[in-house]
Structure 1
Amino acid sequence: MKKYQLFIDGEFVDPASGQWIDTVDPYRGEAWAQIPRGNAQDVDRAVAAAARAMRQSTWTDMTATARGKLMRRLGDLVAREAERLADIEVRDNGKLKQEMLGQLRYHSEWWWYYGGLADKLEGAVTPIDKPEIFAFTRHEPVGVVGAMTAWNSPLLFVAFKCAPAIAAGCAVVVKPSEFASASTLEFAALTREAGFPPGIFNVVAGYGTEAGSALVEHPDVAKITFTGSDTTGAKIYATAAKTMKRVSLELGGKSPNIVFDDCDLDAAVAGAISGIFAATGQTCIAGSRLLVQNSIREAFTKRLIETAKMARIGDPMDPATNIGPVTTPAQYQKVLDYIEIANSEGARCVLGGGPASGLPGGQFVEPTIFVDVAPKMRIAQEEVFGPVLSVLGFEDEAEAVAIGNDVIYGLAAGVWTRDIGRALRMSKALKAGTVWVNTYRAISYMMPFGGMKYSGLGRENGIEAIREFLETKSVWVSTAVGAPANPFVMR
């Protein structure tokens, strides 16, 4: 098994604990590598290195244009290593090779895009209403950033968080999930090859209760950006407030995927399948609530079931596989528990409903569809994070909006209709950070991503994301000559 080290101040180093954690291949059900068990002492070292790097002339004297060139060089290296990194992520989290390779081939775009944006963070001269004053604004990096990523798309989240942070001039300390740290540690070597100064990019792997908590509590960390559950996000938010840290939180979802009777049926069925069974349902944007207009609900559900039955479960490295394993034992049990909850609440299972047998590893769940689901059932309110779909009916736009918004989350939503007016009305009425119309599960480095309500704070991607890592400073310069103004009166 490969034994990884922490990446601190430009070097790979052993953890202070002298301990490692086995990382398990979810498909085979066996350990394939060891990641370092970082703790508060390692976080201290990494944060100190990041803070020092931000003070040193190699970074402070580097122009934003030069910083952008480093980032674009890193993007080139990721493009070169995309397949190797994708293979590592499949071993770590069990997602499909096709999915992870697509993400890694796209990953470079974040470094190219934000590398190009780095020298375009312009301040502004304000035509101030005060006489004999020259006033302008400038943007400065917020400071050391703690970036905490989830296990379902580790390097994609590194791109989401670290590319805009570094473009803004920040240094980062990444705490990847203990269930999927290997690819981030492999990526760290590419930052060194690209020429990043030591300390600008650091990785401290380990448990959330040890390394993660220490990063959130550290007084020299200026901002935390986190992807994960709303429960953990709320704890981070509360802890960060004690030291006045800025926070960005990309949390859970219970997204409505809404099908109207005037839709393109083939496209809507494919969109419903993509929304819940892609990535084995282990995605915060999963369209886990399928709302279908009553006039077509029975026929649509029948077509949906027929299509879902064709999904092939198996080896995530096999191009023919559609659904891979659930990543962790705890998540696997959680998905099965929710299936039991749905049955006990009176929902009717029309497909799947249990473990998929005859496969290695023992963490496979059948694609599962429930009908006769009431909006207030737990299966329709709580995030399952697995291949479990709830089908609900509605009569008209007003009822679709009411049901769609009747959860604590607001990350994403889908709308399937040929009526452009309806599409625009629905996109306005739905309380979600992203609304897809006649498509689903599309992302871009150009398009802001984030949630409303319990789905989080702040935005990732697009120009808006870089503002999350900047402070705006106002500068007032007096051009007055002669006697000073009255010092006892506000200027």
Structure 2
Amino acid sequence: MLYINGEWKEAYSGNKLDVYNPATGELIDSVASGGKEEAKEAIQAAKEAFKTWKKATGQEKGKYLAKVAAIMKERVDQLAETITLEMGKPLPDAKREVLGGISYVEWYAEEAKRVYGETIPASHPNKHLMVLRQPVGVTAAITPWNFPVSMITRKIAPAIAAGCTVVLKPAPDTPISAIKVFECFHEAGLPKGVANLVVGNAEEIGSEMTESSDVRKLTFTGSTPVGKLLLRNSANTVKKVSMELGGHAPLIVFEDADIGMAIKGVLGTKFKNSGQTCISTNRVYVHESIAEEFGQKLAEATSNLKIGNGIEAGIDVGPLINSQALEKVESHVSDAVERNGKVLCGGNRYDTDGNGTFYEPTVINYATEQMKISTEETFGPVAPIFTFKDEEEIIERANHVSYGLAAYCFTNDLGRGYRMMEELEYGIVGINDPAPIVAQAPFGGVKESGIGKEGGRSGLTEYLEEKFVSVGTAK
């Protein structure tokens, strides 16, 4: 179903979108699939709702968001199961995603009360200078399939808290998760038109979002090529944009690091969600003095991960989202082997009697910069190990030419840790911390990994415009 102006609707065309379970290949459900007309209608509904929503008090907006969070908490298990069925991640990971998504709603329920202006000391005795911070307007949001609940709340919650209205287009692989989230918005009594959901044709909906002059803000999470296309298409109306794009995260292990902690770090940043996250480790750099030991221990730990349908108990690694993703992972591993990489564990499709899109968690030793995996985002459960000699060398190699989203570093040298956080050209840096993402902190990249931030105070600012006011008081 589509959700426009507070009502659940079918598409005008009657078209349906089939949703499949990547673990089994089975059809889960068919949902309404809209296009240009539905997008246009949703934008108009958001435009009308903005006239009153922008005037709502922070307390009022916060109360609605708090109610949404409460309803989501009651449905954590249902939401998590939907995620697992649609995109495959193990049920405990899906539950953590839902709880993380709720944390953003709760955070911005409070931040809605803290949209502050500013008074500036005047340079003339007969003037008063002020800065007002006001909602930017109708916001178009496009979310990915790999975190189909938390990516929605991370965008919609700050937009609503700032006083914006929203039209959301979720990924075609995971529309049911979006519908379940919007059921929570509906039952919380959010005023009509404040939040709208349009599932369907990406080209038609995206074009209407970028071309409409009524849409004043576009927020997108997805691949860098698609982000660049949306940026180009938004140029004619000079929209405010925020882009959370691709990544190619390095994870650096120095000779003085706690090896056990570093291995857990790789397991957490590489194999969670089957490596299908923008902040997944793509390159594991290990000091040459400990590289052999580290590779063997990592391979042993990786071999113990249990692969299977995420709905079953005890599963660590679920399927890839589709057959195209599986083929990409295979091509990266084949290329690495052809270039003298050594597979320490994994390296093959995981046999599920012809069903599902599983790939074995894989560790590759002796990785080099000539391999595809060293520059292209694999988006799969493959950990290539590179070696390095010293700090100066690794800083240069770790700083990817194009990407700059997340980086990780393991060391017990405090001074080195501070040097690395300064020198690594990434929007997010975890020092001895493989899980640095929290609702109260900004999330976003530099270079071609993105524009703007999500989360924390910065996430609210993305949905606000500054207006300077000068008041003359001369008699």
TM-score by length of 2: 0.98
Structure number with greater Rg is: 1
The residue aligned with 1:339 is: 333
The residue aligned with 1:484 is: none
Assess, with a 3 A threshold, how the Cα gap between structure 1 residues 116 and 359 changes in structure 2: closer, same or farther: farther
Once the two structures are TM-superposed, the CA of residue 96 in structure 1 deviates from its matched residue by 1.0
The residue aligned with 2:167 is: 173
The residue aligned with 1:183 is: 177
Q: Which one is further off, 13-22 or 368-377?
A: 368-377
Distance 2:354 2:46 in 1: 42
Distance 2:370 2:464 in 1: 41
Q: Match for 1:51 among 40, 47, 54? A: 47
Once the two structures are TM-superposed, the CA of residue 442 in structure 1 deviates from its matched residue by 3.1
Q: Which one is further off, 45-54 or 434-443?
A: 434-443
The residue aligned with 1:27 is: 23
The one-character-per-residue Cα deviations of 1:367-413 (angstroms, maximum 9, x if unpaired) are 11222211242211110100011110001111111110134211111
Q: Match for 1:258 among 249, 252, 257? A: 252
Q: Match for 2:144 among 132, 147, 150? A: 150
Which residues of 2 match residues 261-300 of structure 1 at below 5 A? 261-300=255-294
Contact 1:40 1:215 in 2 (8 A): no
3-state DSSP class of the match of 2:290?
helix
Distance 2:314 2:184 in 1: 31
Q: Which one is further off, 151-160 or 340-349?
A: 340-349
Structure 1: state its 5+ residue gaps.
482-491
Once the two structures are TM-superposed, the CA of residue 60 in structure 1 deviates from its matched residue by 4.3
Q: Match for 2:68 among 64, 74, 77? A: 74
Once the two structures are TM-superposed, the CA of residue 348 in structure 1 deviates from its matched residue by 2.5
| AA at the equivalent of 1:99 | D
Is 1:404 the equivalent of 2:398?
Answer: yes
The residue aligned with 2:13 is: 17
The one-character-per-residue Cα deviations of 1:222-267 (angstroms, maximum 9, x if unpaired) are 1111010001011111111121011111111110000011111111
Once the two structures are TM-superposed, the CA of residue 359 in structure 1 deviates from its matched residue by 5.2
Once the two structures are TM-superposed, the CA of residue 360 in structure 1 deviates from its matched residue by 6.1
Distance 1:366 1:373 in 2: 18
Contact 1:285 1:441 in 2 (8 A): no
The residue aligned with 1:238 is: 232
Contact 2:248 2:400 in 1 (8 A): no
Q: Which one is further off, 407-416 or 42-51?
A: 407-416
The residue aligned with 1:7 is: 3
Is 1:248 the equivalent of 2:221?
Answer: no
Q: Match for 2:378 among 367, 381, 384? A: 384
3-state DSSP class of the match of 1:292?
strand
Is 1:85 the equivalent of 2:87?
Answer: no
The one-character-per-residue Cα deviations of 1:105-156 (angstroms, maximum 9, x if unpaired) are 2322211211111121111111110231122111110011111000000110
Contact 2:251 2:284 in 1 (8 A): yes
Is 1:95 the equivalent of 2:82?
Answer: no
| AA at the equivalent of 1:90 | T
Q: Match for 1:427 among 421, 424, 431? A: 421
TM-score by length of 1: 0.95
Contact 1:297 1:393 in 2 (8 A): yes
Structure 1 segments (4+ residues) deviating >4 Å: none
Contact 1:27 1:360 in 2 (8 A): no
Paired residue total? 475
Distance 2:355 2:201 in 1: 23
Contact 1:253 1:409 in 2 (8 A): yes
Once the two structures are TM-superposed, the CA of residue 188 in structure 1 deviates from its matched residue by 0.9
The residue aligned with 2:124 is: 130
Once the two structures are TM-superposed, the CA of residue 212 in structure 1 deviates from its matched residue by 2.4
Contact 1:29 1:360 in 2 (8 A): no
Q: Match for 1:204 among 193, 198, 204? A: 198
The one-character-per-residue Cα deviations of 1:203-236 (angstroms, maximum 9, x if unpaired) are 1011322222322222211111101000101111
Contact 2:56 2:163 in 1 (8 A): no
Is 1:326 the equivalent of 2:326?
Answer: no
Once the two structures are TM-superposed, the CA of residue 28 in structure 1 deviates from its matched residue by 1.2
Distance 2:269 2:181 in 1: 29
The residue aligned with 1:464 is: 458
Distance 2:99 2:366 in 1: 41
The residue aligned with 1:489 is: none
Once the two structures are TM-superposed, the CA of residue 340 in structure 1 deviates from its matched residue by 2.0
Distance 2:120 2:333 in 1: 59
Is 1:440 the equivalent of 2:434?
Answer: yes
Q: Match for 1:42 among 27, 38, 42? A: 38
| AA at the equivalent of 1:20 | K
Contact 1:254 1:407 in 2 (8 A): no
Once the two structures are TM-superposed, the CA of residue 477 in structure 1 deviates from its matched residue by 1.2
Assess, with a 3 A threshold, how the Cα gap between structure 1 residues 200 and 337 changes in structure 2: closer, same or farther: same
Distance 1:286 1:226 in 2: 19
Contact 2:139 2:216 in 1 (8 A): yes
Distance 1:469 1:331 in 2: 33
| AA at the equivalent of 2:102 | S
The residue aligned with 1:120 is: 114
Structure 2: state its 5+ residue gaps.
none
Assess, with a 3 A threshold, how the Cα gap between structure 1 residues 289 and 434 changes in structure 2: closer, same or farther: same
The residue aligned with 1:477 is: 471
| AA at the equivalent of 1:301 | G
The residue aligned with 2:366 is: 372
Is 1:452 the equivalent of 2:438?
Answer: no
The one-character-per-residue Cα deviations of 1:274-327 (angstroms, maximum 9, x if unpaired) are 121111000000112000000000011010011111111012012311110001
Q: Match for 1:302 among 296, 318, 335? A: 296
Distance 1:311 1:69 in 2: 43
Assess, with a 3 A threshold, how the Cα gap between structure 1 residues 48 and 321 changes in structure 2: closer, same or farther: same
Distance 1:31 1:356 in 2: 21
Once the two structures are TM-superposed, the CA of residue 464 in structure 1 deviates from its matched residue by 0.7
| AA at the equivalent of 1:432 | Y
Distance 1:97 1:421 in 2: 40
Distance 2:452 2:212 in 1: 21
Q: Match for 1:358 among 352, 372, 383? A: 352
